[in-house]
Amino acid sequence: MAIHPIDGRYGRKEVKAIFDEENKLQRLLDVECALAKAHAEVGNIPKEAAKEIERKCSTKYVTVQRVKEIEDQINHDLMAMVKAYSEQCGNAGNYIHLGATSADIMDTSLALQLQDFITFLEKDLLGLRKVLITLADKHKRTVCIGRTHAQHAVPTTYGLKFAIWAEEVQRHVDRLNECKLRILVGQMTGAVGTQAAFGPKAMKIQELTMKYLGLKSVNVSNQVIQRDRHAEFLLLLALVGETLNKICTEIRNLQRTEIDEVAEGFKKGKQVGSSTMPHKRNPIYCERICGLSRIIRADAFAAMDNIPLWHERDLTNSAPERILIPEACILIDYMLAKTIEVMENLEFKPENIKRNLNMTKGLIMAEKIMVTLVEKGMSRQEAHELIRKDSMKVYETGEGFINVLGKDPEVAKYLPKKELEELMKPENYIGTAVEQVEKVVRRLS
C-alpha cells in the first residue's frame, strides 16, 4: 500500500528504480565486488575467490528478501547484506567486506546511485534548455508588456523572457558539471578513516576499487564521506527547483483571467478544471511544480544539518538521507519533465498580449518620449517632470496619452504629431531585446 505520493502520483519509474530496494542492494554488491577484485589484484586474496564473488554479484543470488531476513535477526542492514552475499559465495565469502567499514560500502554505493541519477538530471536540464531556446527564437519579436512591481512598465518581448530562463538553466548545467567532481566519489578508509585494516596496500586498494566502479577516490576522510558534498548536491537541486518555481510562477500569473496572455495546454475533450466549476482551466502543473519546489528546498536545508557529525562519525545523517536524497532526486526529475511538457504545450494569446500592451492608453511609452525630448535638447530632469505631469493627467482624465501629449505646448516644441505617433508604437521600443535573444540562441544551441 502506497504511503508517500512518490510511490504512485509523482516521479518517473526509471528514476524511482535507481533508488528502489533492488537497485540499492545491487549497488552495495557492486562495491563489495570491486573491493574483492582490488584485494585480489594487490595479492591479498586468491584471484579465484574474487572471481566467485564477482560471479555472484547479483540480486538474482543475493535477494532483498534474504537480506531482510538476516537484518531482522542481527539488526544491522549492511552486515545483513554481507552475510547474505557470503552465503552465496562458499569459501570465497570469507573475503567479502575485508578491511571495510559499513560507510565505505554505503557511501560509495550512494555515489553510484547518484551517478545513475545525474544521467537523467543532465538530460532533463538540457531538454528544458532546448525548449526554452526554441521558444526564445520563435518569440524574439513577440512584443509584450514588461511588468515591475506587478505594474505595467515598458515593452519587452517573450523571447527575452525565455532567453533569460535558458541562461539560468545553463548555469545549473555548469554547476552540475562542477558538482560532479565532488559528489561522484567513493572511499575505502575503514574505521575512523585510517585504512589500518586494509594493511600496507590500503591506498592502492582504494584506488583500484574506485577505478573498477568508475568513481574518483576521496583524498582524505574519516569513517564517512564528508556530508558537505551531499549538501552541495541537494542545494543544487534546490536551485534548480527554484528556477522551475520562478518559471511556473510567471506562467501562472500570465494565465490569470485579468492578464490571460499565455496558458498551460488543456487536453481537449475530457480534461476537468474543477469539480464544481465546469468552466475552469487551471494551471495545475505549474501550481504542482511550485508546490513541490518547497519540498526540494526543505530537503536541502535538512541536508545541511547532516554536515556536523560527532567526532569521526555518528548516524544522525543516515536516517534523514534515506528520505532526503531519493525524495529530492525523484521529485526534481519529475518537476523538470513536467516543466518541459508545460513549455512545449504553452498556448499564446496574441490578441490579449496586444490588448495588455494598450491597456494603459500609451503610458508605457512615457520613458521613450522622455528620452527623445532629452535627445532633442531638453534637460533630463525637466523632461522627466514634464512627462510625469502629463502621465498623471491620463490617470485623472482617462484620456489617451498621445492626446495629452499633443495638447502640451512644451512637447509640441520638440515633437511634431507625426513623429509622436511613431514614438508611441511599442514595437519601436524594445532596444536590443532581439539581438540579446539571438546571441543567447547562438551560444546555447
271 pLDDT more than 80:
no
pLDDT of residue 15: 97
- Is 274 one of the annotated active-site residues of the chain? yes
- For residue 326, pLDDT over 90 is answered with yes
Instruction: Please give the pLDDT value at position 3.
Output: 78
DSSP state of 218: P
Nearest CA to 87 out of 54, 48, 61, 68 is that of 61
Cα angle 167, 169, 170 (rounded to 5 degrees) comes to 60
DSSP reduced 3-state for 367: helix
- Say yes or no to pLDDT of 274 above 60: no
The string of DSSP codes covering 255-286 is TSTTT-SEE----TTT--S-SS-TT----HHH
CA angle 246, 444, 124 (to 5 degrees): 55
Q: Tell me what pLDDT residue 4 has.
A: 87
- CATH number of 358-444: 1.10.40.30, 3.40.309.10, 3.40.50.720, 3.40.640.10? 1.10.40.30
Catalytic residue, chosen from 76, 274, 379, 445, is: 274
DSSP string, 297-308: HHHHHHHHTTS-
**C-beta separation of 235 from 300 below 8 A:** yes
Q: CA–CA separation, 105 vs 111, rounded Å? A: 10
Q: What is the predicted pLDDT for the residue at 276?
A: 55
Confidence of residue 281 (pLDDT cuts 50, 70, 90): confident
List all residues 6 or more positions away from 203 whose beta carbon is below 8 Å from its beta carbon: 195
Give the confidence band of 282 by pLDDT, cuts at 50, 70, 90. confident
pLDDT digit string, tens, across residues 364-423: 999 999 999 999 999 999 999 999 999 999 999 999 999 999 999 999 999 999 999 999
Q: What is the pTM of this model?
A: 0.93
Residue 139 appears among annotated catalytic residues: no
C-alpha cell at 258: 485579468
Supply the pLDDT for residue 6.
85
% of residues, the chain, pLDDT over 70? 96
Asked if 159 contacts 433 with a C-beta cutoff of 8 angstroms, the reply is yes
- SS3 of residue 15 by DSSP: helix
Q: What are phi and psi of 263, to 5 degrees?
A: -155, 150
CB 235 within 8 A of CB 303: yes
Residue of 149, 275, 279, 311 marked active site = 149
Beta-carbon neighbour count of residue 99 at 10 Å? Answer: 23
DSSP bridge partners of 157:
143
170: confidence class by pLDDT, cuts 50, 70, 90: very high
The single-letter DSSP state of residue 2 is -
Average pLDDT (35-48) is: 98
Say if CB 280 and CB 337 are below 8 A apart: no
**442 φ, ψ (degrees, to nearest 5):** -65, -40
Q: State residue 145 phi and psi, 5-degree precision.
A: -80, 135
Average pLDDT over residues 136-157: 97
Q: Tell me the domain boundaries of the chain.
A: 5-44+98-131+153-266+279-348, 358-444
72 φ, ψ (degrees, to nearest 5): -60, -30
Second-level CATH architecture of 5-44+98-131+153-266+279-348: Up-down Bundle (1.20)
Q: What is the DSSP string of 396-418?
A: HH---HHHHHHH-HHHHHH--HH
User: Which runs of E-coded beta strand occur in 238-396?
Assistant: 262-263, 347-348
Distance CA 38, CA 138 (A): 55
**Stretch (H or E) spanning 144:** strand 143-148
Query: Residue 429 has what DSSP assignment?
Result: -
How far apart, in Å, are the Cα atoms of 26 and each of 20, 106, 218, 311, 342? 10, 11, 22, 30, 35
The set of residues, in sequence order, having a beta carbon less than 8 Å from that of 2 and lying 6+ positions away, is 8
Name the band, by pLDDT with cuts 50, 70 and 90, for residue 5.
Answer: confident
C-alpha cell at 162: 525565455
Q: What is the mean pLDDT of the chain?
A: 95
Residue 207 CA to residue 222 CA, distance in Å, equals: 16
Q: For residue 410, count CB atoms less than 10 angstroms from its CB and return exposed for 0-12, middle for 13-18, buried for 19 or more.
A: middle
Does 20 have pLDDT greater than 60?
yes
- In this prediction, residue 181 carries a pLDDT of 96
Q: Tell me how far apart the alpha carbons of residues 388 and 420 are, in angstroms, rounded to a whole number.
A: 17
For the cut 70, the answer to whether the pLDDT of residue 267 exceeds it is: no
Contact status, residue 17 vs residue 326, Cβ threshold 8 Å: no
Backbone angles phi, psi at 186, to 5 degrees: -130, 175
Helix (H, G, I), strand (E, B) or coil at 3: coil
pLDDT tens figures, 237-265: 999 999 999 999 999 999 999 999 999 88
Contact 104, 51 (CB under 8 A): no
Residue 105 has pLDDT above 60, yes or no: yes
Residue 2: per-residue pLDDT: 73
Cβ atoms of residues 40 and 72 within 8 Å: no
